[in-house]
Amino acid sequence: MTLHSLDELIADGVRGRYVLVRSDLNVPLDGPDEHRSVTDDGRIKASLPVISRLAQAGARVLVCAHLGRPKGKPEAKYSLKPAAERLAEIASAQSVKVSLASDTTGESARGLSAAMADGDVLVLENVRFDGRETSKDGSARSALAGELAGLTGDDGAYVDDAFGAVHRRHASVYDVARLLPSYQGDLVQTELTVLKKLTADTPRPYVVVLGGSKVSDKLAVIENLIGKADSILVGGGMVFTFLAAQGFKVGTSLLEQDQVPSVQDYLQRAADAGTTFVLPTDIVVAAKFAADADHGVVAAEDMEGGRLGADCAGLDIGPDSAVLFAERIRGARTVFWNGPMGVFEFPAFAEGTRAVAQALADATAAGGFTVVGGGDSAAAVRTLGFTDDKFGHISTGGGASLEFLEGKELPGLTALDDTDDSERER
C-alpha cells in the first residue's frame, strides 16, 4: 500500500489551492439543542495541526466532518457549530481564521468557499446531514463526492485526517478520495504507525485490556489477538458473558447469552495458544443503574449470593480485581486498552477504570508503550482527570482501531492507496 503524506502535498505547493480535509470533529456535546457545548475537545485539538499546517502554507482549507448520527437531514443537536466555534477559538492562537458554512455543498458552502482567501479555513456543515454520505448506493455517494470535489476547483487536493472514519465506505471518506489527488494526514499517519506496533514485533509482555458493554463488539479482535497477546484482561459489561461461560450466575447484569459458546471456545483456544484471559475476581454490584444506587462488592462467582441477591447488576470491577489488573499492566512492555471497566460516568462505579488508567500511566512512565484505544476509553481518562501526555498514544478512532487490529481492510485507507493510480478519475 502506497499512501502519500501531507509533507509531499505541501512540498508540491498549496498556496492558493483548495484542499478538502476530512477531519474528525465528532465530539461529545452537552446542553439544549440550540446551545450545545463541547465537553471533550480532544479530537478537535488532534485535528488542528493538519488544518493549521495547510492554512499557514497558504491553502484554502475546506474542512469536512460529521457529528453524531443524524438521519440524512439537518438536526440542530448535531450541528457542527459548537465544534467549529471551539476549533476557531484554539486556531486563533495560531492566527488561523475559521468560519462555518450552514450547509455541506449547497449555496452557503459554495458562496463562502468562493470568497476564501489564502490561509482561510471553512468548516462545512455536518456531512451526514446529506443522506448520500452514508448511502449504500454507490452512485448516490459518488454524486455527493463530486459536489465536495467541485468545491476545490480545478487544482484541488484531498487529505484524510479522520482516522476515526477510515473504516467507513462513506462519500467523504472513500468516494471523494477517488476523485482528487489524495494524501494521508499526519493524524492518520501517526495512528497507523502506532497500531502497526501492536501487530508486528510487539515488545513483550504484551497486555490487552478490553471493556465496554458488549462482547459481540470485541469478538473479532479477541480472535485475532489470541496467540499474539500474552494476557487479555476483561472488564466492563462484556465480562458477564465471560463469567457466564465459566458457569457463574450474573444476576441482572448485561449478558449476551448467544455469545457464550463463542467465549467458551476462545477461552479454550487461548489456553492452547499461550494467551491468558484474566477475569475479575470481584464485582461492584448495584440494585439499579443509577449514580446513587445501593451497591456493594461481591465475589465474581457469587453475584447472586451477596447482599443484593439475584436482582443485582455488575457495574464495575471490584477493588481486588483493580489491583490484579494494575499489576499485570505495570509489568507489561506493551499495553493496548479499549473500553472502560465500568460505568465511569457514575463516581461509585469509576474506580476500576481509574485504576486501569493509572496503571497505564505508570507503565508509560516506566518506559512501556501504551495505547488508549479511543472512544469511551479516551473519554474516560479525560473525565477522570488524566492528561493525554500520561499515555504513549490516545487513539482518535475506537472502531477503526479495533478493525485494524482485527486485520480488516479499511476502505478509507484503500481509497488513498495509489499503487494503481490509474483507477482515479482525476
Contacts of residues 323-327 at CB distance under 8 Å and 24 or more positions apart, as own/partner, are: 323/355, 324/278, 324/280, 324/281, 325/209, 325/233, 325/235, 325/278, 325/280, 325/352, 325/355, 325/356, 325/359, 326/355, 326/356, 326/358, 326/359, 326/362, 327/359
Of 150-159, 185-194, 368-377, where does mean pLDDT reach its minimum?
Answer: 368-377
Backbone CA torsion sign across 90, 93, 94, 100? positive
Reply yes or no on whether the pLDDT at 268 is more than 70: yes
Residues in the annotated binding site: 24-26, 43, 66-69, 128, 168, 218, 314, 345, 374-377
Distance from the Cα of residue 239 to its chain's centroid: 21
| Average pLDDT estimate for 387-401 | 90
Largest CA distance in the chain: 71
* Mean pLDDT of all residues in 388-413: 90
pTM value is 0.88
Work out the average pLDDT over 211-226. 91
> Would you say 70 and 78 are in contact if contact means Cβ atoms under 8 Å apart?
yes
C-alpha angle 204/210/211, rounded to 5°? 160
Q: Is 402 helix (H, G, I), strand (E, B) or coil?
A: helix
- What is residue 421's predicted lDDT score, i.e. its pLDDT? 52
Contact 329, 360 (CB under 8 A): yes
* Domain edges within the chain: 6-186, 195-406
Would you call 16 a catalytic residue per the annotation?
no
Q: Is the pLDDT of residue 347 over 60?
A: yes
pLDDT(181) > 90: yes
| 34 pLDDT above the threshold of 80 | no
Cell triple for residue 251?
A: 444476576
pLDDT over 80 (residue 309): no
Mean pLDDT estimate for the chain? 94
The confidence score (pLDDT) of residue 419 equals 58
Same fold? 6-186, 195-406: yes
Tell me the C-alpha distance between 242 and 238, whole Å: 7
> pLDDT tens, 157-166?
999 999 999 9
| More confident site: 305 or 12 | 12
245-258 pLDDT, tens digit each: 999 999 999 999 99
Tell me how far apart the alpha carbons of residues 343 and 314 are, in angstroms, rounded to a whole number: 10
- The reply to whether 214 belongs to the active site is yes
Catalytic hit among 17, 22, 36, 43: 43
Task: Name the CATH topology of 195-406.
Answer: Rossmann fold (3.40.50)
Q: What is the mean pLDDT of residues 109-128?
A: 98
What CATH code would you report for 6-186? 3.40.50.1260
User: What pLDDT score was predicted for residue 425?
Assistant: 52
Give the model's pLDDT for residue 161.
97
Would strands 18-22 and 157-160 be described as parallel, antiparallel, or unpaired?
parallel
Q: How many CB atoms lie within 10 A of CB 409?
A: 10
CA pair distance 307, 206, nearest whole angstrom: 37
**The three grid cell numbers given for residue 263, joined into one nine-digit string:** 467465549
The string of pLDDT tens digits covering residues 310-338 is 889 999 999 999 999 999 999 999 999 99
DSSP letter for each residue of 90-152: HHGGGT--EEE-SSSSSHHHHHHHHTPPTT-EEEPP-GGGSGGGG-S-HHHHHHHHHHHHHTT
Helix (H) or strand (E) holding 299: strand 295-299
Contact 213, 185 (CB under 8 A): no
Mark whether 399 is an active-site residue: yes
Select which of 251, 368, 375, 412 is catalytic.
375
Whether residue 375 lies in the annotated active site: yes
pLDDT in tens, 138-159: 999 999 999 999 999 999 999 9
> Could you tell me the three cell numbers for 33?
439543542
Which residue of the set 214, 269, 408, 424 is catalytic?
214
